Amino acid sequence: MGFDIRSDTIGQSFYMSKWYESDIGVRKLLLIFLENTKKPSLIRAGNFITLSLQTLTQE
């Protein structure tokens, strides 16, 4: 089984794990993590352009 490292699937992967078998501290941390994965991560340059593979390869 391979690992998918796309950012939009990380939250789903954590949710599909056996999180319910963890202790309460781990479950609280996972809840916070899952809430944070609802929004995509963006890298911005100079607060005016979002960096992506497309902007990196533009000439």
The pLDDT tens digits of the residues spanning 39-56 come to 766 777 777 777 776 766
CA distance from start to end of the chain: 38
Those residues whose C-beta lies under 8 Å from the C-beta of residue 8, and which sit 6 or more positions away, are 40
The region of weakest confidence among 1-5, 10-14, 26-30, 41-45 is: 1-5
3-30: burial string, b at 16+ Cβ within 10 Å, e else? eeeeeeeebeeeeeeeeeeeeeeeeeeb
pTM score, whole prediction? 0.49
Q: Reduced to 3 states, what is the DSSP secondary structure of residue 2?
A: coil
